[in-house]
Chain A
Amino acid sequence: MKLNTKRFIAGILIVSFFVYSIVIYTVGTRVDKGEKYVTEQAKKGKLLFQKKNCIACHQLYGLGGFMGPDLTNEISALGKGPLFAKAFLMAGSERMPNYHFTETEIEELIAFLTYADKTGVSPVKKFKINYDGTVNWKGKDETRD
């Protein structure tokens, strides 16, 4: 392969990387179904979620550690909800340490989980598999339990 050909292909790919990145930062991630739940409290809750490294054990959209459950829809899940979450945040459990959160911190974390809950569904339990190996991504929010 000639040097100029290699340079040309590498150049095209590097430019593609930057263009694609900008597209992802904008139109690729424009939609946020939970937008109106992004309160100051939820923003603080998200930072607290990071500071306590909750993701080491929990997941959002199936991403994170597997010691504890996925928290994406913890707030709207049947038999769970804000009070259920609050109980764990106040006392911990056999596997979850008691972080001695203040009342304000608990409210912030619940506000963040409420926002996360409105953005989508995880795990997806009802879906249709298409012939090309894809699933019904379009309709997945309608299949929410």
Chain B
Amino acid sequence: MEPLTGKGKMKRETSIYFILFAILSLLGGIAFGILGAFQFVIPKFFELIPFVKCRPLHVSMVIAWIFLSATGGIYYYLPRYCNVKLFSNKLQKIHLWIFILTGIGVIISYLAGKFGGREYWEFPPVLAIPIIISWIIFGFNYFKTVFTKTEPWPVYLWMWGTGIFFFLFTYLESNLWNFSYFRDHLIRDITVQWKAGGSMVGSWNMLIYGTAIFLMDRIQQDNRIAKSRLAFIMYFLGLTNLIFNWAHHIYIVPNAIWVRYIAYGISMTELLILGKLIWNWKRDLTKSLQDFHLLSVRFIIASDVWIVLNLMLSILLSIPAINIFTHGTHLTVAHAMGSTIGINTMILIASCLFLIPDVTKVQFSKRQSLTISIGFWMMNIILLFFWVALILAGYHKGYMVVEDKLTFQEIMLKIRPYLMVVAITGTVIFAGVLMVFVPALKLIKAYLRST
């Protein structure tokens, strides 16, 4: 039974605000991404917000989608499904407000052309302070909550804790450039920046993959997988990669050679993860397909397909002999986009579609489910074209750069048709995302009105 407020209404869940702002952030992020994609192929397109502003708006809003939706899910699932009482609801609300106010500050600074930070975190560095405070609050609240649990933790509780802990440290690390010891030494600066960035992606993957395991555990009512030995072996392998494999992003940077050898060696252990996925593919898929009618499961299955595709691409890009052709090309973008849309967003949409009806106590109507299903297929089919276009653009650019016969402008002209495909398919993906989220936003709106 839901706790009632003084007016006899249901008490409003704070996590629904995390999800609401997450969805709005994603829609804004994709819109700026599309704008940026068209600016790539049509110079002077929509000059009111030039590419130099569009790109950080796109990236930061998509990152905000990832954090807000993952965090909102964790806050909601902990007390409802993990047999623990949230340590502090007040801290959860403070966390939300800091996140929203900082987000608004970041957007205003970008629109005003006030930068000063680094790639992916381009806002003035002062805005890093509330971000750090919010993660300390989140970590404190999370660990105070889960340490009250006496029974053995399922792997997703380990993963969420790891994600929070490592995000905080890697984010602090990404701000080390504020000290001249790092800033004034370009090779150290780039190396530390990408060390922090690479591990940070690993940290948010912990939050997201933990959510995926949690969802399958809940939906299939089977917690054996989340507590199995294999799940923990895979978790520790993932953690090892988070710590050591980041240098495959910067093989070309002249830091110590052993840094690159370590990254290469550790990156190749991802073959074990790929092998495990392929080995269990038929069994896992057969089990999941039994629940294909459930919207959340459908998105998790899609993410499994994208994990295999992107893992194969990522392993190939981690081989230095291949990386030398692909580095600095759209192949890297294909990997980033494939992972962010195909894996992370699919899992987080699954989480939203599980959480929203659970909070609002209203299921999607048949018509809404159909709209979401069409959006699902649209997103996934078109994403494949989008992904392949980026791969082809990257392949051609890499080959032409190494061949060294054309100027930069000539190379960009040659790959322009692929980039046009990227811009158009990106627009269709946006339409698919809208079809998924408009019904979800309607449920949230009705819930907020009734509480």
A-B contacts, 26 of them at CB < 8 A, read: A10-B158, A20-B243, A24-B192, A24-B195, A24-B255, A25-B192, A28-B259, A30-B256, A32-B186, A46-B184, A50-B122, A51-B116, A55-B119, A56-B119, A61-B253, A63-B119, A63-B249, A63-B250, A66-B40, A94-B44, A95-B43, A97-B50, A120-B253, A124-B252, A134-B321, A137-B257
A94 to B276, alpha carbons, bound, how many Å? 50
Which A24-83 residues have a C-beta within 8 angstroms of B? 24-25, 27-34, 38, 43, 46-47, 50-53, 55-57, 59-70
Q: Specify the main secondary structure of chain B where it touches its partner.
A: helix
Which B158-181 residues have a C-beta within 8 angstroms of A? 158, 162, 166, 169, 173, 176, 180
In the complex, what residue of chain B is closest to A51 when comparing beta carbons?
A: B116
**Residues in B whose Cβ lies below 8 Å from that of A116:** 186
- Is A91 an interface residue, CB under 8 A from the partner? no
Known contacts A13-B236, A55-B119, A64-B119, A28 near B256 by CB under 8 Å: yes
How extensive is the interface on chain B, given as a class?
A: 35 or more
Known contacts A56-B51, A94-B44, A120-B187, A24 near B259 by CB under 8 Å: yes
The reply to whether B260 and A137 form a contact with Cβ atoms under 8 Å apart is: yes
- Is B79 an interface residue, CB under 8 A from the partner? no
Contact among A31, A55, A135 for B254, CB-based, below 8 A: A31
Which B161-217 residues have a C-beta within 8 angstroms of A? 162, 166, 169, 173, 176, 180, 182-188, 190-192, 194-195, 199
- In addition to A24-B259, A67-B40, A119-B186, 5 A-B residue pairs with Cβ atoms within 8 Å of each other are A10-B239, A32-B186, A51-B116, A116-B186, A123-B328
A82-102 vs B, CB cutoff 8 Å, 1 = contact: the mask equals 000000000000110100000
The reply to whether B255 and A28 form a contact with Cβ atoms under 8 Å apart is: yes
In the complex, what residue of chain A is closest to B180 when comparing beta carbons?
A: A43
Known contacts A28-B191, A133-B321, A61 near B252 by CB under 8 Å: yes
The reply to whether A62 and B252 form a contact with Cβ atoms under 8 Å apart is: yes
In the complex, what residue of chain B is closest to A34 when comparing beta carbons?
A: B186
Known contacts A55-B119, A57-B51, A61-B190, A124 near B324 by CB under 8 Å: yes
The reply to whether A57 and B52 form a contact with Cβ atoms under 8 Å apart is: yes
The reply to whether B239 and A13 form a contact with Cβ atoms under 8 Å apart is: yes
A3 to B236, alpha carbons, bound, how many Å? 14
- Is B335 an interface residue, CB under 8 A from the partner? no
A34 to B328, alpha carbons, bound, how many Å? 22
- Is B312 an interface residue, CB under 8 A from the partner? no
- Is B143 an interface residue, CB under 8 A from the partner? no
**Residues in A whose Cβ lies below 8 Å from that of B162:** 10
**Residues in B whose Cβ lies below 8 Å from that of A130:** 321
- Is B287 an interface residue, CB under 8 A from the partner? no
The reply to whether A145 and B187 form a contact with Cβ atoms under 8 Å apart is: no
The reply to whether A46 and B251 form a contact with Cβ atoms under 8 Å apart is: no
Min CB–CB distance B166 → chain A (angstroms): 8
A59 to B402, alpha carbons, bound, how many Å? 16
Min CB–CB distance B444 → chain A (angstroms): 33
Contact among A63, A69, A141 for B194, CB-based, below 8 A: A63
Q: Which 3 A-B pairs have the closest CB atoms?
A: A62-B328, A29-B188, A69-B408
Which B214-232 residues have a C-beta within 8 angstroms of A? 229, 232
A52 to B232, alpha carbons, bound, how many Å? 45
**Residues in B whose Cβ lies below 8 Å from that of A9:** 236
The reply to whether A56 and B40 form a contact with Cβ atoms under 8 Å apart is: no
The reply to whether A135 and B324 form a contact with Cβ atoms under 8 Å apart is: yes
Which B111-158 residues have a C-beta within 8 angstroms of A? 115-119, 122, 152, 158
**Residues in A whose Cβ lies below 8 Å from that of B359:** none
The reply to whether A16 and B187 form a contact with Cβ atoms under 8 Å apart is: no
The reply to whether A94 and B191 form a contact with Cβ atoms under 8 Å apart is: no
Min CB–CB distance B320 → chain A (angstroms): 5
**Residues in B whose Cβ lies below 8 Å from that of A17:** 166, 169, 199, 243
The reply to whether B264 and A134 form a contact with Cβ atoms under 8 Å apart is: yes
Known contacts A1-B229, A16-B243, A24-B259, A125 near B321 by CB under 8 Å: no
**Residues in B whose Cβ lies below 8 Å from that of A33:** 254
Contact among A6, A62, A137 for B232, CB-based, below 8 A: A6
The reply to whether A56 and B56 form a contact with Cβ atoms under 8 Å apart is: yes
B251-282 vs A, CB cutoff 8 Å, 1 = contact: the mask equals 11111111111001000000000000000000
The reply to whether A115 and B186 form a contact with Cβ atoms under 8 Å apart is: yes
The reply to whether A46 and B192 form a contact with Cβ atoms under 8 Å apart is: no
**Residues in B whose Cβ lies below 8 Å from that of A67:** 39-40, 51
